[in-house]
Amino acid sequence: MADTNQQTTPPANAPAVKTWTPKIGETCLYTIEDKRLKAVVTRVFIVTGSTSTKQRKKDAKGQFVQTTKEVKINNVTKTVNDFVFEDVVLYEGVAFSANQQFPESIKGITLDALSPKEA
């Protein structure tokens, strides 16, 4: 089995490279809206489809607009709100969250998960 703590940093314009799989109980660092956050992984779900804070729509005043999208979680398609983003990480198809309400309420997704070694 490969060393799951190795990390590669792709160029900014390259797609994220999966270097580890989060496990329940691990601590991870992640970034949401330029804030570096640390969380203990409490749940792991396989998710297809992606959302990022950069894709959120804003109105003329710069306020985020409530939008919905379909996300497949453990092979069940759910329509979720894209409005609030916090405490959930989607990394190369794997979502993990410090938010106990996930997946009923997906409160945020980022593609910027880092290896537990850095936490």
CB 47 within 8 A of CB 53: no
Q: Beta partners for 40?
A: 27
- Distance, CA of 39 to CA of 58 (rounded, Å): 28
User: How far is residue 101's CA from residue 55's CA, in Å, rounded to a whole number?
Assistant: 23
Domains identified in the chain, total number: 1
Q: With respect to residue 93, please indicate whether it lies within any of the assigned structural domains.
A: yes
Q: Residue 61: helix, strand or coil by DSSP?
A: coil
Domain of 63? 27-113
Show pLDDT as tens, one digit a residue, over the chain (119 residues): 554 444 444 444 444 443 445 566 666 665 555 566 666 665 555 444 444 444 556 667 766 565 555 655 555 555 554 433 333 444 444 444 443 333 333 334 333 333 334 43
pTM beyond 0.95 = no
Token couple for 17? 């490279």
Give CA angle at 99 (115, 44), nearest 5°: 50
